[in-house]
Amino acid sequence: MRRRTNAADFIWTLEKANALQGWTGDSTATVSTESHNDGTEIVVLREADGVGGDPKKFLRLKVAYQP
């Protein structure tokens, strides 16, 4: 994802579920962060548990504003 580096009042959470309900956000790993020297950066997130034996896995990015 690409985000602004000065947007400290936003919280980014990668959430997962085996169906399109019951989302949890407790097992995210940041793989890399790359600055673009224009006030933005690219952040690569990965679901830490991997796919495993789950026949379906859904991921979504939740962005919350926290002043």
pLDDT in tens, the chain (67 residues): 788 888 888 888 888 888 899 998 866 677 888 999 999 999 888 777 766 776 788 888 888 998 8
Measure the CA–CA gap between 40 and 35, rounded to whole angstroms: 6
Residue 22 amino acid letter? G
- Which pLDDT value is given to residue 39? 92
Which residue range forms the structural domain that includes residue 42? Answer: 2-65
C-alpha to C-alpha distances, 50 to 1, 20, 29, 53, nearest whole angstrom: 19, 18, 11, 9
Overall domain count for the chain: 1
Q: Which residues lie below 8 Å from residue 29, measured CB to CB, with a gap of 6+?
A: 45, 46, 47, 48
